[in-house]
A and B are shown apart, each in its own frame.
Chain A
Amino acid sequence: MLPIVKYLWLIPALPLLAAGLAALLKKERRASAATLAIGSMSISFLLALAAFLPTLSHGEHGVFRECFNFTWFEFADNTFQSASTVQLGWVLDPLTAMMLVMVTFVGLLIFIYSVGYMAHDENFTRFFCFLALFAAAMLGIVIANSLLLLFISWELVGLASYLLIGFWYHKPSAAAAAKKAFITTRVGDMGFLLGMLWLYSKTGTLLFYDGGNGCLEQSALIKLVAETTMCGMAISTAISILIFCGAAGKSGQVPLHVWLPDAMEGPTPVSALIHAATMVAAGVFLMARIYPLLSASADPATISTGLKVVAWVGSITAVFAACIAVAQNDIKRILAYSTVSQLGYMMLGLGVGGVAVGMFHLITHAFFKALLFLGSGSVIHGCHEEQDIRKMGGLRILMPITFATYAIGMLALCGFPLLFSGFWSKDEILASAHHWQISQIPFYLGVIGAFLTAFYMTRQMFYVFFGSPTVSPAAVADTKAKHSHNPHSSHSHEPATSIHESPPVMTMPLVILAVFAVLLGLIGTPAWPWFHGYLAGHSPKVDLGKLAEDAGLMLVSAVVVFTAMGLSWLVYSKVTLQKSREVDPLEKAQPFFWRLLANKFYIDELYEVTIIRLNKAFSVLSDWLDRTFWTGVVTMISHLTVGLSWLSRKIDEDLVNGGFDHGCDGLRESSRNLSKAQNGQTQFYFRVLGIAFVALVLALIWRAK
């Protein structure tokens, strides 16, 4: 075993250690906290690179894969051997290595950026502690060779994102968003947990790879595919769909996407880290990790139901979120919905084209979306915490570096042909969807999504960087003073001099990310699909002919992108020059649809009136049951007992005691009456005696006759 495999745990452990140490630091030790976090992340990055190198050469069985497993604890009779223990472990294969490099690299850049962005925050130390915790948990997901370890890290990622989204806890909206994020993802996690338990009970192990005994390996899969559940679904499919629930929660797939836009309440580096590079991608990564299980089906020729579900959910999410993004005005919310939409693409790619297609988009997206988020952070930072794109404008002159890098990110996201990485990864997804045997609808949904993406990103660019600056110095001063912004006093054409370019510590990461946003596309072009070969374990050759095969589709997607951008230009290039930007031209044209989109299809409201109210009602019912019903039953029993005692007391006092007393009283009374005859007068007795004697004599005489 390579030493790097054995020590792979160091990659998440170092940031974890940094987080632990930073948690103990005093608030004032700002520099130490940042140094700890960035230092640990740098070392992790170097280690990740060291882990990456051996995976480049693939072994005789295809991909390079080595794992290190150990027993965590024992929970049953050891006659069951390995089934009686819970084993954890880590694995090094191309999927892990690539993610490790990506996460540590993007993470490192975001850490550096945060030093500038959070410079004035009083809880700077705490922020780096949370960031490092997050990175550690994320890296834990990536290296995990056990579904349980993955789940543990998964939950810790949830915790870290909870802490980071709610970082500005004094804002009620941030606290609510943090809670919403944790709970929404936990809804999915319950599915994940059940899927994991089911898998565990069927295979007796949660290790992915364990020298042939792992749950993703042949013997386990054959067993899982053979058994079917009630609906005739293979167990492997049922399990993978349950696990997909977890992935859908983390990756913001419809209908569990609601937390992601709200999560923008967190500081922008958090948005970049969580909503671009890492956490949201964890769902896609999880699906890629369990791909053997997901795609397993009894008949190798058919596509498993699990893959179909993933593809459909992905394609619907892609269009759904893109629609909403069109009508948003908050710079970060637009990006958030675009993330949801892109995650849908990844799921779609994974579902229709396999691991490489989905993962390639994941990697390219991580870079350009991190770039966009950090760019938006730079914009927000420069505009003094303003996030409404209608109140920005003309920033291309004031913030040139931000503008240039943001434009690159935007073009990559739109899938601007040939030059940008987003084009290649998205095109590949569309190509795979086009070749999908089941249905063409996901393909069309994907194309519509691409159109919408190009449209809303162009719109955002116009609002933010073109036209004239609309934030007046007075308003800025006002903002600074009161931290509140009055939109009606901000329409001035004077140049907003206080808007400034961000410091180099923030722009440097932007530039680096921008470079990657362009170059990364080169490793996955149809002509030289190195990335696919790397994941699948073979080395592809350069073949320009492949480019021609897909040329038709590329042309279509290019036309779609150009049309969307052109359309957006037509609509918004004038608007941005106008004084009043409050009303969007599309809103004038289609007020109903606009409202529908601006309110996110009322999904939040729908949940509010259904699930949340149901939950409230249920808890009120439980409480009522408790306070009224069960307590009532108990009270009734107690009353019954009291009643019984009362009755028995009555019987005792009135019937038994009373009867006896009454009898005695009667006896006494009659005795008293009788004793009245004894009046003490001797003569009276004598008289009675006499009368009686006479009577006796008379009687005797009468008898004698």
Chain B
Amino acid sequence: MNLLTILTLIPLIGGAAVLSLKADQKDLARRLGLAISLIALGMAAFLWFQFNPSPGTNGFAFEERADWLPSLGIEYRLGVDGLGLLMVCLSALLVPFSMLASWKIDQNPKLYFGLLLFLEAGLFGTFTALNFFHWFIFWELSLIPAFFLIKIWGGPNRTQAAYQFFVYTLVGSVAMLLSFLAINVATGINSPAHIFDFRALAELAGNHKLEPIIAKLGIFKNPSTTMTVLFAGVFLGFAVKVPLIPFHTWLPSAYSEAPTGTSMMLTGAMSKMGVYGFLRILLPIFPEQTRAMLTPLLWMAVATIVFSAAAAFAQKDLKRMVAYSSINHLGYCMLGIFATVQLTGSQMNGPLEKEAALNGVILQMFNHGLTAAALFYFVGLIEQRSGGLRGLNDFGGLRKPAPVFCGLMGITLFASLGLPGLNGFIGEFLIFKGAFSLAPGPAAVSTIGLLVTAIFLLTLLQKVFSGPLRSEWSGWRDLTAGERLTVVPMIALMFVLGLYPQLALGVINPTVVEMVKQMSF
């Protein structure tokens, strides 16, 4: 059973089907799109319950393999471990949510829903691929629908935002592609087989065999310089996608110009591609280079956390504020990832702390996807109801006419600021637990980010929902039944993961244990 191929094909074929509808079959397009995304969700859920990696597979399950261009090391290879599975589930979960949030889009809905499904296919492909070649195809495939979604349905500055988003990401991708081509060429020198397989490369790197192979390229005299350059290329590709400060400037405008449903996908799932890349590709293949750059990388993560939180506080536009908070949350992931890179040797509990941090990182990825998407959903609703206004100071006292709206958005905000009992806390706690032991300085400074996050999220809550009700909003509608139905499952999931994190950690933990064992750190 090629379950993963089927999983990727569902939205791909479904997207084509939606596109083949007639332009005036708007409702049908929406319904069909939603139905297909729900089928994909069902498939993802099926995988979740079937997931049971057999021993000796390094924690991977549902593996598929087919030769493609064997002489170049290109093969069709799929498989998921806990990390991939969780990301697949996150993407599958967010697409229907995002579709419901975009239900009211009336300008060519069939194209919109079709593109969302293609985006989903790109995400599935990225999270399941184990060979660079088709991984990269899917990586780029997800970019194109996102570009058009911003370009066609975005806000007033959509064109600039879309181009910025596209070009920025593409520059990173190209740098990464070049690095991988160099590796592929190097592995082919005096050797029968080129290598594109992530795990094979990771194994080489783990046994310190990759550097001698790269040395054959002879670009620089010192092979470690070559490795560093290759590392920089791959790093750039992922750092732009996450994004890490200072590679983030495309993000606020892209997120704030994109239509709500697209922002949800961008922040919820696509930003995870970058973090996923760090975990699946960069760290296993370039452990020593990462380690050599550890201090600047850690402080880069800290800068991401602190500066983005502070910048969010300075925003007057709700969407931009949420966009910056999204950078901030992924900064914690990066902190956790970088903290685990350093060698602890035989130091007591080194692996334990690393496992804690990585568990936290992966959980945080999922949680952030959930929370940030929900936040964008709420901001989108505010924008929709106010007729396009979304300034921090445009509102006031909305809690009175819309108590449920306020309550549910409040829960989401508190989940985002890491209130215990909601999902955000466990991830951040585990990241900080690991990071604080492994890199106390950066972790301690990062708590400023936690504090500032609380400040701006509460400011949002205060300015929008508290105070006297402005007369122009006296007719503000509370959440409709449909909207409640859309968002309540998300919020329920926030509670479930906050109270019973073992649900997700049970899947993540074996993967993380395997990761820490596999990588030579």
Task: Report A-B touching, CB under 8 Å.
Answer: yes
Q: Given the complex, which residues of B lie within 8 Å of A162, measured CB to CB?
A: 458
Contact B246 A633 (CB under 8 A): yes
Contact A172 B466 (CB under 8 A): yes
> B219 within 8 Å of A by Cβ?
no
> B260 within 8 Å of A by Cβ?
no
Assuming A80-B352, A630-B249, is B310 touching A193 (CB within 8 A)?
no
Contact A197 B313 (CB under 8 A): no
Contact B314 A620 (CB under 8 A): yes
Contact A169 B502 (CB under 8 A): no
Within 371-423 of B, Cβ neighbours of A (below 8 Å) are at 397, 399-400, 403, 407, 414, 419-421
User: Which residue of the partner chain, among A74, A156, A170, contacts B397 with CB atoms under 8 Å?
Assistant: A170
Q: How many angstroms from the CA of A171 to the CA of B433 in the assembled complex? A: 39
**Which of A178-186, A373-381, A647-655, A660-668 interfaces with chain B?**
A178-186
Minimal Cβ-Cβ distance residue in A for B316: A623
> B196 within 8 Å of A by Cβ?
no
Contact A190 B447 (CB under 8 A): yes
Assuming A75-B355, A155-B420, A201-B437, is B458 touching A183 (CB within 8 A)?
yes
Minimal Cβ-Cβ distance residue in B for A632: B249
> A309 within 8 Å of B by Cβ?
no
Q: How many angstroms from the CA of A183 to the CA of B451 in the assembled complex? A: 7
Minimal Cβ-Cβ distance residue in B for A163: B410
Contact A615 B455 (CB under 8 A): yes
Q: How many angstroms from the CA of A176 to the CA of B314 in the assembled complex? A: 18
> B425 within 8 Å of A by Cβ?
yes
User: Which residue of the partner chain, among B355, B414, B466, contacts A77 with CB atoms under 8 Å?
Assistant: B355
> A303 within 8 Å of B by Cβ?
no
> B505 within 8 Å of A by Cβ?
yes
Contact B432 A179 (CB under 8 A): no
Q: How many angstroms from the CA of A333 to the CA of B473 in the assembled complex? A: 34
Q: Given the complex, which residues of B lie within 8 Å of A126, measured CB to CB?
A: 403
Q: Given the complex, which residues of B lie within 8 Å of A179, measured CB to CB?
A: 458-459, 461-462
Contact A170 B353 (CB under 8 A): no
Q: Given the complex, which residues of A lie within 8 Å of B307, measured CB to CB?
A: 622, 625-626
User: Which residue of the partner chain, among A23, A75, A156, A619, contacts B311 with CB atoms under 8 Å?
Assistant: A619
Contact B430 A623 (CB under 8 A): no
> B299 within 8 Å of A by Cβ?
no
Q: Given the complex, which residues of B lie within 8 Å of A166, measured CB to CB?
A: 462, 466
> B501 within 8 Å of A by Cβ?
yes
> A551 within 8 Å of B by Cβ?
no
SS class of chain A's interface: helix, strand, loop or mixed? helix
> A84 within 8 Å of B by Cβ?
yes
Contact B513 A77 (CB under 8 A): yes
Contact B465 A631 (CB under 8 A): no
> B80 within 8 Å of A by Cβ?
no
Interface size on A, residues (CB 8 A): 55
Contact A626 B252 (CB under 8 A): yes
Within 56-84 of A, Cβ neighbours of B (below 8 Å) are at 72-77, 80, 83-84
Q: Given the complex, which residues of B lie within 8 Å of A200, measured CB to CB?
A: 433
> A685 within 8 Å of B by Cβ?
no
User: Which residue of the partner chain, among A23, A77, A156, A626, contacts B419 with CB atoms under 8 Å?
Assistant: A156
Within 428-444 of B, Cβ neighbours of A (below 8 Å) are at 429-430, 432-433, 436-437, 440, 443-444
Within 454-477 of B, Cβ neighbours of A (below 8 Å) are at 454-455, 458-459, 461-462, 465-469
Q: Given the complex, which residues of A lie within 8 Å of B447, measured CB to CB?
A: 190, 193-194
Query: Chain B 496-521 against A: per-residue CB contact (8 Å), 1 yes, 0 no?
Result: 00001110011001001100100000
Q: Given the complex, which residues of B lie within 8 Å of A77, measured CB to CB?
A: 351-352, 355, 513, 516
Interface size on B, residues (CB 8 A): 67
> B290 within 8 Å of A by Cβ?
no
Contact A626 B462 (CB under 8 A): no
Minimal Cβ-Cβ distance residue in B for A73: B502
Counting chain B CB atoms within 10 Å of each CB, the highest count among A75, A77, A148, A174 belongs to A75
Within 618-675 of A, Cβ neighbours of B (below 8 Å) are at 618-623, 625-626, 630-631, 633-634
Q: How many angstroms from the CA of A160 to the CA of B352 in the assembled complex? A: 34
Contact B467 A170 (CB under 8 A): yes
Assuming A152-B425, A190-B447, A190-B451, is B355 touching A76 (CB within 8 A)?
yes
SS class of chain B's interface: helix, strand, loop or mixed? helix
Assuming A84-B355, A623-B315, A625-B307, is B420 touching A204 (CB within 8 A)?
no
User: Which residue of the partner chain, among B356, B429, B469, contacts A76 with CB atoms under 8 Å?
Assistant: B356
> A95 within 8 Å of B by Cβ?
no
- Distance in angstroms from B280 CB to nearest chain A CB is 20
Q: Given the complex, which residues of A lie within 8 Å of B360, measured CB to CB?
A: 75
Q: Given the complex, which residues of A lie within 8 Å of B452, measured CB to CB?
A: 615, 619
> A151 within 8 Å of B by Cβ?
yes
Contact A75 B509 (CB under 8 A): yes
Contact A186 B454 (CB under 8 A): yes
Assuming A83-B352, A197-B433, is B458 touching A155 (CB within 8 A)?
no
Q: How many angstroms from the CA of A621 to the CA of B450 in the assembled complex? A: 18
Minimal Cβ-Cβ distance residue in A for B253: A631
Q: How many angstroms from the CA of A618 to the CA of B312 in the assembled complex? A: 11
Q: How many angstroms from the CA of A616 to the CA of B311 in the assembled complex? A: 10
Q: Given the complex, which residues of A lie within 8 Å of B450, measured CB to CB?
A: 186, 190, 193
Q: Given the complex, which residues of B lie within 8 Å of A118, measured CB to CB?
A: none
Q: How many angstroms from the CA of A171 to the CA of B397 in the assembled complex? A: 9
Assuming A169-B399, A190-B447, A619-B310, is B419 touching A201 (CB within 8 A)?
no
Query: Chain A 602-620 against B: per-residue CB contact (8 Å), 1 yes, 0 no?
Result: 0000000000000110111
> B248 within 8 Å of A by Cβ?
yes
Q: How many angstroms from the CA of A626 to the CA of B303 in the assembled complex? A: 12
> B131 within 8 Å of A by Cβ?
no
Assuming A75-B430, A621-B310, is B468 touching A172 (CB within 8 A)?
yes
> A343 within 8 Å of B by Cβ?
no
Assuming A615-B455, A623-B311, A626-B311, is B420 touching A152 (CB within 8 A)?
yes
Q: Given the complex, which residues of B lie within 8 Å of A622, measured CB to CB?
A: 307-308, 310-311, 314
> B157 within 8 Å of A by Cβ?
no
Contact A151 B420 (CB under 8 A): yes
Q: Given the complex, which residues of A lie within 8 Å of B421, measured CB to CB?
A: 152, 155-156
Within 244-275 of B, Cβ neighbours of A (below 8 Å) are at 245-246, 248-249, 252
Q: How many angstroms from the CA of A159 to the CA of B498 in the assembled complex? A: 15
Q: How many angstroms from the CA of A155 to the CA of B498 in the assembled complex? A: 14
> A175 within 8 Å of B by Cβ?
yes
> A198 within 8 Å of B by Cβ?
yes
> B426 within 8 Å of A by Cβ?
yes
Q: Given the complex, which residues of A lie within 8 Å of B312, measured CB to CB?
A: 619
Q: How many angstroms from the CA of A72 to the CA of B465 in the assembled complex? A: 35
> B169 within 8 Å of A by Cβ?
no
User: Which residue of the partner chain, among A156, A175, A183, A626, contacts B420 with CB atoms under 8 Å?
Assistant: A156
Q: How many angstroms from the CA of A23 to the CA of B353 in the assembled complex? A: 39
Counting chain A CB atoms within 10 Å of each CB, the highest count among B312, B443, B454, B516 belongs to B454
Minimal Cβ-Cβ distance residue in A for B357: A75
Assuming A159-B414, A194-B444, A622-B308, is B246 touching A76 (CB within 8 A)?
no
Contact B436 A197 (CB under 8 A): yes
Query: Chain B 322-349 against A: per-residue CB contact (8 Å), 1 yes, 0 no?
Result: 0000000000000000000000000001
> A43 within 8 Å of B by Cβ?
no
Within 338-362 of A, Cβ neighbours of B (below 8 Å) are at none
Contact B352 A84 (CB under 8 A): yes
> A553 within 8 Å of B by Cβ?
no
Counting chain B CB atoms within 10 Å of each CB, the highest count among A178, A201, A625, A631 belongs to A201
Binding site for B on A (CB under 8 A): 23, 72-77, 80, 83-84, 126, 148, 151-153, 155-156, 159, 162, 166, 169-172, 174-176, 178-179, 182-183, 186-187, 190, 193-194, 197-198, 200-201, 204, 615-616, 618-623, 625-626, 630-631, 633-634
**8 A-B contact pairs sorted by A residue (CB < 8 Å):** A73-B505, A74-B509, A75-B359, A153-B420, A170-B469, A615-B455, A616-B314, A633-B246
A-B CB proximity, top 4 nearest: A175-B466, A152-B420, A76-B355, A623-B314
Extra contacts besides A186-B451, A204-B349 (17): CB < 8 Å = A73-B502, A76-B359, A151-B420, A155-B425, A156-B421, A169-B466, A175-B462, A175-B467, A178-B466, A179-B459, A183-B455, A615-B310, A622-B307, A622-B311, A626-B248, A630-B248, A633-B246
